[in-house]
Amino acid sequence: LTLVVLIISIRQNTRSQKALVVDSLAAAITSINVPAMESPVLGSALSKATADWSSASREERIIAHFFLFSFFKLLENAWYQQKTGVLDQAQWVGWEKLLRKYYHSTGVRGVWWPARQHGYSPEFQKFLSETKPPDELGSLNELFDHVPDDT
């Protein structure tokens, strides 16, 4: 009977830990996106810098760098959580597509990542190097510049 109670307790604790990880990731992405909601400067800087690092001003590259560093650190954490089974595969799918979209963008791959990749674990670097860009996600420019057709 004690063993059954222990097994049930462990399962409940595991579910609670998984829920905490998901909540933590959601809170972390919110905390790095709130500044963009308060000022479009971050979105504009990120849009330019990811498309073509040199098209962004020095100030825009600085803003984009700090977002990208935080974003990739967050997703490195999510990747490790997924690898250990704490983050479910179904929850990882969306994060992973977004990560691949940023990683394979021209500005990130051409300039930012080569200069900052060593701030991330060798395992995470290897994972990213083996990925392909997703087809499902458009660029930030496409998203930000989209005007619905009223016809």
Burial call 80-106: b when 16+ CB within 10 Å, e when fewer = ebbeeebbeeebbeebbeebbbbbbbe
Percent of the chain with pLDDT over 90: 42
Q: Whole-model pTM?
A: 0.76
Query: Looking at residue 87, what is its pLDDT?
Result: 80
Average predicted confidence (pLDDT) for the chain: 83
Query: Looking at residue 32, what is its pLDDT?
Result: 73
149 pLDDT above the threshold of 80: no
Q: Is 70 exposed, middle or buried (0-12, 13-18, 19+ CB in 10 A)?
A: middle
- pLDDT tens-digit series, residues 74-113: 999 889 888 888 888 888 888 899 899 999 999 999 999 9
